[in-house]
Amino acid sequence: MIFRQLFEPESSTFTYLVACSQTRDAVLVDPVVETCERDLAVLAELGLNLAYTLDTHIHADHITAACRMRALSGCKVAYPAADALACADVHVSEERPLAVGKMLLQPVFTPGHTDTHHAYLIDEGGTPAIFTGDALLIDGCGRTDFQNGDADALYRSVRERIFTLPPETLVYPAHDYNGRRVSSVAQESARNPRLGQDVTLEQFRAIMAGLDLPYPRKIDVAVPANRECGGCPDELVAELHAQGGKSPQG
């Protein structure tokens, strides 16, 4: 397996390039529209064919590069089937994993940040890894106060679907705002201040209710665009970029 972790600093978003070393087919998980050229250059440098883009959820803080990557590379756009996006070519679910070359990305339904959020688990014979999107961050988690978010659902998703994975499973989140790049199930289940150790559901509800986060700056542009797989007019991309700043997920 070929792996690269790529970072977009304006929204503090990680994009993950994962490729089959045998077929050279690749997938980009949570690509960002502003970094299309960079990501295509990385693919070319590694001699890879972009087969798919794959998003964990409908993002509120940036526009996905899915539609633009399809136009530039001929790849297919994959999204959770639960999002029911007409713009997607492939609809994934726990019953319909995504095969990329000889690799398999297994969707894991993890609602709570949004009601259709999915993480993606990959185990290619080495250390398993899960791309957790905004469900589980390093020492934190995504906010639950918009896009049908639900603190109870997020608590169950993380504690029952992610923390039950083998402890050595690497955790790769969609964002980090403090320069961190990777964690593990063992680390997060032990010390995540919101969800680890003996944090109860009642305590988690209180934590999430007390975050008092600002309204995401980009949500009114990003969410409609992402419901079209990022296939929005260039002026909307420019507007999103002009808004600047970070929209922390919590």
pLDDT tens-digit readout, 89-104: 999 999 999 999 999 9
Q: Please, which residues have CB within 8 angstroms of residue 168's CB and are 6 or more apart in sequence?
A: 127, 128, 184, 185, 186
The two tokens of residue 98 are 């995504």
State residue 245's pLDDT score: 45
State residue 239's pLDDT score: 58
Domains of the chain listed by start with CATH number: 2-242 (3.60.15.10)
State residue 231's pLDDT score: 83
25 DSSP β-pair partners: 49
**Average pLDDT per block of 10 residues along the chain, 250 residues long:** 97 97 98 97 98 98 96 96 97 98 98 98 94 98 97 98 98 97 98 97 98 92 96 58 54
Q: Measure CA 203 to chain center.
A: 26
State residue 125's pLDDT score: 81
DSSP state letters, 120-142: EEE-SSSS-EEEEETTSBTTB--
State residue 225's pLDDT score: 95
Residues 117/56, Cβ–Cβ less than 8 Å: yes
Q: How far apart are CA 201 and CA 153, in angstroms?
A: 10
State residue 88's pLDDT score: 97
Q: How far apart are CA 6 and CA 78, in angstroms?
A: 19
Residues 20/103, Cβ–Cβ less than 8 Å: yes
Kind of pairing between the strands at 129-133 and 170-173: parallel
Angle between helices 66-73 and 36-46 (to 10 degrees): 50
